[in-house]
C-alpha cells in the first residue's frame, strides 16, 4: 500500500507534519516523499500544481486518489487503515464511552484549526501585509487574540489528565494539533506562562512518530523569539 | 435519542446551518433547539457560555456530551448514527470505489473551510477593522482572493457531474459547504458569473433537509448586494 503513496511536503509546516505523523502512526512507512523548499517556491512548481492546483503543501496521492487537504488526508488514512497501527478515532456505535471520547477528539481537532489560524495570523501580519497598510494596533490585537486562545488550550490540558489532548491515549487530536503547538514553542512561546502546553510539547517529542518526522530544518537552525512576550 | 439533544443556534450562520442540516439528514427531528439572536448578543449569554466557553454558535449538547465545533458535530452525528438516515460518508474498508469517494468528500469538506474563511474575511473587513486601520487596497485584495476561490469551486462543480459536490449523491461535503454557498448568493453573488454555483444552489434549495432549516430571518428580509461585483 505505502509504495502507492506520494507525499510532497515542506519542513516545519504544521499541515504537512500532520500527514507525516498520521502516516507513521498508521504504519505506512515506505511511502514516496519529496521534501520541497518553500523559500525556493517549489510548492508552486508544475509538479505540485499538477497534484494540488492551490500550489500548497502538503500534496498527497494514493494511486489515482488525490487528497491534499491535511485534515482530509489524516481522516482518509484513518478511514482506509482503520485497524492498522494506532487507532486515531475510536468506533462509536454501541459504546457510550467511545461516543464521549469521539466527541472530545472532534472538538479538539476542529478547535485546532482555530488555534492554527490565530497563530498564522500573527506570523503572517509582518510578512504579508504591505508596509503602508500596517498598524501596530492591528498587530497587537492579533497577538492578544492568540494569547486568549492559548489560555483556552492551557485550560483544556488541565481538564484532560493523561497528557494527551483527548485524555489518556494518543488520538487524531494530537496528530492534528501537536505540530501547531511545536511551532508555537519553536517561535519562542514562554514555557513559564504556558506550562501545560510546554509539558505536552515535551511529552510528545519523544513519541516515535513525532521523532521520525521532526522538521529537518529545525535541527539545523535556532528557534526564534517572535512569541516571547505573548 | 433526539430528545436528549439541544442545539443553540443563530439564523443564517453557516456553521449553525450545517448542524441543522446534518440533524435532518440523520432523521434526528425532535431535538431541542433554541434560536438566538446575534444582534442582541445572545451568543454571549451565560446559558451559551456554560456550554460553549467560546461564546459562539452553534452550541450543541447530547446528554452529557458537548460538541460545539460545527464540523465536529456533523462528523460526530455521522459516526454515532452511521446507519440511520442519509449516509454522509461511505465506508472505505474493502471497496476501492468508496475510497476514492471518501477522498473526494474529505477534499471538498476541508476546502470548504477555506471558501468559508475567505468569504468571512470580506464580510468582516468593514465590520471589525477599526476606521483608522482601513485601506481600500486591503479590502480589494480580500475580494480578489475570494474571486479566485470561487472560480476554483466553479471548476469543481464542472468536474463532478451529478449536481452534488462529490458527484451523484448528497454527502458530508454538501452538509458542510452548501450553507456557505447559500450565503454567498444571499449576499449578491452574480448568477451570470458563477453559473455552476448558482445551479448548485437552486438544486439544493428543494432538498427537504435544506427547506426545513432555511434561515428564518432570510424569509423576512431582502438579500444584499455586497458581493454583486466580485
Are A34 and A104 within one domain?
no
pLDDT of B93: 67
Same domain, A76 and A132: no
At A159, list the grid cell.
Answer: 481538564
CB atoms within 10 A of CB B94: 7
Task: Please state, in angstroms and rounded to a whole number, the distance separating the CA atoms of residues A92 and B86.
Answer: 17
pLDDT of residue A98: 84
ipTM: 0.96
In chain B, which residues have their Cβ closer than 8 Å to the Cβ of A92? 76, 79-80, 82
Chain B positions touching A113 (Cβ under 8 A) are 113
If asked whether residues B187 and B126 sit together in one domain, one would say: yes
**Partner residue facing A82 (CB), from B71, B93, B152:** B93
Residues B52 and B27 sit within 8 Å (Cβ to Cβ): no
Q: CA nearest A10: which of A51, A48, A61, A63? A: A48
> pLDDT tens across B193-207, in order?
999 999 999 999 999
Check whether residue B108 and residue B195 sit in a common domain.
yes
User: What integer pLDDT is reported at residue A161 of this predicted model?
Assistant: 83
Residue B89 maps to a domain:
no
Contact B65 A137 (CB under 8 A): no
Residue range(s) defining the domain that contains residue A70: 2-80
Q: Which CATH number characterizes residue A121's domain? A: 1.20.1050.10
Q: How many CB pairs under 8 A join A and B?
A: 104
Residues B74 and B122 placed together within one structural domain of the fold:
no
CB-based contacts of A52, cutoff 8 Å, min separation 6: A8, A58, A59, A66, A68
Sole residue written with cell 499541515: A15
User: Smallest Cβ distance to A80: which of B72, B99, B129?
Assistant: B99
Q: CA A171 from chain center: how many Å?
A: 13
Count of domains observed in chain B? 2
> Same domain, yes or no, for A65 and A119?
no
What's the farthest any 2 CA atoms get from each other in chain B?
58
| Chain A residues in contact with chain B using a Cβ-Cβ cutoff of 8 Å | 53-54, 62, 64-73, 75-76, 79-80, 82, 89, 91-93, 99-100, 102-103, 106-107, 109-111, 113, 117, 129-130, 132-133, 135, 137-138, 152
CB-count burial class (<10 Å; 0-12, 13-18, 19+) for A97: exposed
How high is the pLDDT of residue B1?
Answer: 81
Q: Which residues pair with B7 in a beta bridge?
A: B33, B60
Contact present, A144 and A224 (Cβ < 8 Å): no
Note whether B45 and B150 are same-domain residues.
Answer: no
Residue B191 lies in a domain: yes
Q: Of the candidates B172, B167, B194, which has an alpha carbon nearest to the alpha carbon of residue B181?
A: B194
Residue of A nearest to B94 (CA): A80
Alpha-carbon gap, residue B90 to B87, rounded angstroms: 6
Q: Nearest-CA distance from A120 to chain B in Å?
A: 14
Q: Do A38 and A121 share a structural domain? A: no
Does B85 map to a domain?
no
Name the residue among A53, A54, A72 with its Cβ closest to that of B106. Answer: A72
Residue with cell 468582516: B124
Cα separation of A112 and A109, whole Å?
A: 5
Chain B residues near residue A115 by CB distance under 8 angstroms:
none
Q: Cα B48 to chain center, whole Å?
A: 20
Per-residue model confidence as pLDDT tens for chain B (230 residues): 899 999 999 999 999 999 999 999 999 999 999 999 999 999 999 999 999 999 999 999 999 999 999 999 999 999 999 999 999 999 876 667 789 999 999 999 999 999 999 999 999 987 888 888 899 999 999 999 999 999 999 999 999 888 999 989 999 999 999 999 999 999 999 999 999 999 999 999 999 999 999 999 999 888 899 999 99
B112 and B53 assigned to the same domain: no
> Does a structural domain hold residue A225?
no
Question: So what's the pLDDT on residue B94?
Answer: 61
Q: Give me the percent of chain B exceeding a pLDDT of 70.
A: 98
CA distance B81 to chain A (A): 7
Tell me the sheet residues that pair with A167.
A164
pLDDT for position A95: 63
Residue of B55, B66, B106 to mutate when probing chain A, most A C-beta within 10 A = B106
Examine residue A73 and state whether it is found in any structural domain, yes or no: yes
Which of A54, A80, A106 is the last residue before a domain boundary?
A80
Kindly state the cell numbers that stand for A111. Answer: 478547535
**Residue B227: inside a domain, yes or no?**
no
Q: Report the C-alpha gap between A89 and A60 in whole angstroms.
A: 21
> Do residue A47 and residue A73 come from a single domain?
yes
pLDDT in tens, chain A (230 residues): 899 999 999 999 999 999 999 999 999 999 999 999 999 999 999 999 999 999 999 999 999 999 999 999 999 999 999 999 999 999 876 667 789 999 999 999 999 999 999 999 999 987 888 888 899 999 999 999 999 999 999 999 999 888 999 989 999 999 999 999 999 999 999 999 999 999 999 999 999 999 999 999 999 888 899 999 99
pLDDT at residue A148, as a whole number: 97
Pairing state between β A59-62 and A32-36: unpaired
Cβ contacts (< 8 Å) between B109 and chain A: which residues?
A: 69, 72
Residue B16 lies in a domain: yes
Three-state DSSP class for residue B102: helix
**Which tens digits make up the pLDDT trace of B155-197?**
999 998 889 999 899 999 999 999 999 999 999 999 999 999 9
Query: What SS3 string covers chain A?
Result: CHHHEEEEEECCCHHHHHHHHHHHHCCCCCCEEEEECCCCCHHHCHHHHHHCCCCCCCEEEECCEECCCHHHHHHHHHHHCCCCCCCCCCCCCCCHHHHHHHHHHHHHHHHHHHHHHHHHHHHHHHHHCCHHHCCHHHHHHHHHHHHHHHHHHHHHHHHCCCCECCECCCCHHHHHHHHHHHHHHHCCCCCCCCHHHHHHHHHHHCCHHHHCCCCHHHHHCCCCCCCCCC
- Quick one: pLDDT at residue B91? 85
In the block, cell 506550562 appears at: A195
Same domain, residue pair B113 and B37:
no
Nearest to B76 among A67, A106, A133 (CB): A106
pLDDT score, position A94: 61
Predicted confidence at residue A101, as pLDDT, reads 94
Which 3 state secondary structure label does DSSP give B100? helix
Residue B191: count other Cβ atoms within 10 Å of its Cβ. Answer: 12
Q: Which residue, B46, B80, B114, sits at the end of a domain?
A: B80
**Taking CB atoms and an 8 Å limit, are A103 and B133 in contact across chains?**
no
CB A169 within 8 A of CB A161: no
Q: Contact A82/B71, CB-based, under 8 Å?
A: no
Among A80, A109, A139, give the residue marking a domain's end. Answer: A80
A87 within a domain of the structure (yes/no): no
- Judge if B191 and B100 occupy the same domain: yes
CATH of residue B51's domain is 3.40.30.10
Task: For residue B184, give the H/E element and its range.
Answer: helix B172-186
Q: How far apart are the first and last CA of chain B?
A: 44
Amino acid at each position: 500500500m505505502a509504495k502507492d503513496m506520494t507525499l510532497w511536503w515542506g519542513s516545519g509546516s504544521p499541515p504537512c507534519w500532520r500527514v507525516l505523523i498520521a502516516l507513521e502512526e498508521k504504519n505506512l512507512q515506505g511511502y514516496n516523499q519529496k521534501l520541497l523548499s518553500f523559500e525556493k517556491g517549489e510548492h508552486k512548481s508544475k509538479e505540485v500544481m499538477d497534484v494540488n492546483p492551490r500550489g500548497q503543501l502538503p500534496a498527497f496521492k494514493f494511486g489515482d486518489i488525490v487528497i491534499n487537504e491535511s485534515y482530509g488526508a489524516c481522516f482518509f488514512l484513518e478511514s482506509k487503515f482503520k485497524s492498522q497501527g494506532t487507532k486515531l478515532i475510536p468506533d462509536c456505535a454501541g459504546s457510550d464511552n467511545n461516543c464521549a471520547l469521539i466527541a472530545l477528539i472532534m472538538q479538539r481537532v476542529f478547535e485546532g484549526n482555530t488555534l492554527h489560524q490565530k497563530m498564522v495570523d500573527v506570523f503572517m501580519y509582518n510578512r504579508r501585509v504591505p508596509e503602508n497598510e500596517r498598524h501596530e494596533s492591528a498587530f497587537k490585537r492579533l497577538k492578544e487574540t492568540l494569547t486568549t486562545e492559548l489560555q483556552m488550550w492551557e485550560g483544556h490540558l488541565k481538564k484532560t489528565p493523561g497528557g494527551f489532548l483527548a485524555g489518556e491515549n494518543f488520538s487524531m487530536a494530537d496528530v492534528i494539533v501537536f505540530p501547531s503547538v511545536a511551532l508555537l514553542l519553536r517561535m519562542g512561546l514562554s514555557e513559564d506562562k504556558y506550562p501545560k502546553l510546554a509539558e505536552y510539547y515535551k511529552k510528545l517529542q519523544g513519541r516515535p512518530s513525532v521523532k521520525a518526522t521532526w522538521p529537518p530544518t529545525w535541527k539545523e537552525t535556532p528557534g526564534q523569539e517572535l512569541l516571547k512576550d505573548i
